[in-house]
Amino acid sequence: EMVEFNVFFNRIIDRFEMSKSHKVDFERHLPKEQYFVEIDPDKLTQVIDNIISNALKYSPKGGKVRFDMTVEEGSLLIQISDQGMGIPKENVDRIFDRFYRVDRARSREMGGTGLGLAISKEMINAHGGVIWAESKFGKGTNIFFTLPFEMDDGGEWD
Ligand code: ATP
Ligand code: MG
C-alpha cells in the first residue's frame, strides 16, 4: 500500500501523546514535504509502536522522546531517541535478538517478552530497510531505521 509517511507517522505519535499516562515530553523534527512509501501499514505501525513503547518503558524518570525524519539517498531515515536508562555498550547489538533483554531482573518487573525488536527488525528488513541502535548507558537510546521511498512529483504523470 502507498502511504504518505509524514501523516502516517504523526498519527502514531499523536496516539501516544494523547494517552498521557507517561511523564515524557515528545519533540518532533519532521519535514513538511510529502514522502510516499510502499509499506504494510499494520506492520509498520507495530514496529513504531514497539519503539515508542520501549522509549517510554525504559525512561522511568521521564525526559524527552525525540522524533526525527531525514532523507538519505533514496531512503527515509527515521530516528526515535529517548533520555532513559540506556543500554551498556556491549549489549546494544543484541537487543534485536529474539528474547534478548538487557537486564533480566530489571526487565522482569517491566513486562514484555523481548520479542518486540526482533520482530521489528524482520519487518523493516522485509520492507527493504535496515534498523540499528546507538545508546549510552545511563543517558539514553536512539533507534534508527530506514525505508526506501519515492519522491512526490507533484501529481504529474509522465
Ligand atoms: P516486548 O517488546 O516483547 O514487549 P521488550 O520491550 O523487553 O519486550 P524488545 O522491544 O525486543 O523487548 O527490547 C529488547 C530489550 O532491549 C529490552 O528488554 C530492553 O532491555 C532493551 N531496550 C529496548 N529499547 C530500549 C530503550 N529505548 N532503552 C533502554 N533499553 C531498551
Ligand atoms: Mg519492546
pLDDT at 155 > cutoff 60: no
Cell of 5: 509517511
The alpha carbon of 79 and the centre of ligand 1 are apart by a number of angstroms equal to 16
Facing residues of 146 across strands?
77
* 52 HSE (CA, 13 A, CB side): 26
What are 95-150's pLDDT values in tens digits? 999 988 887 766 666 778 889 999 999 999 999 999 999 999 999 999 999 999 87
ipTM above 0.95, yes or no: yes
The alpha carbon of 31 and the centre of ligand 1 are apart by a number of angstroms equal to 28
Which of helix, strand or coil describes residue 116?
Answer: helix
Contacts of 16 (CB under 8 A, 6+ apart): 26, 52, 56
Q: Which amino acid is at 9?
A: F
- 73-99: average pLDDT: 95
- 58-63: average pLDDT: 91
Quote the CA–CA distance of 136 and 115 in Å, as a whole number. Answer: 22
Please list every protein residue whose CB sits less than 6 Å from any atom of ligand 1: 50, 54-55, 58, 82, 84-87, 95, 100-102, 107, 112-118, 141
The alpha carbon of 18 and the centre of ligand 1 are apart by a number of angstroms equal to 22
Residue 101 CA: nearest ligand 1 atom is 18
* 149 HSE (CA, 13 A, CB side): 24
What are 121-136's pLDDT values in tens digits? 999 999 999 999 999 9
Quote the CA–CA distance of 129 and 134 in Å, as a whole number. Answer: 17
Nearest residue (CA) to ligand 1, atom 27: 55
List the one residue out of 85, 58, 70, 88 whose CA is nearest residue 149: 70
| C-alpha distance across the termini of the chain, in Å | 21
Quote the CA–CA distance of 150 and 116 in Å, as a whole number. Answer: 28
List the one residue out of 40, 58, 7 whose CA is nearest residue 123: 40
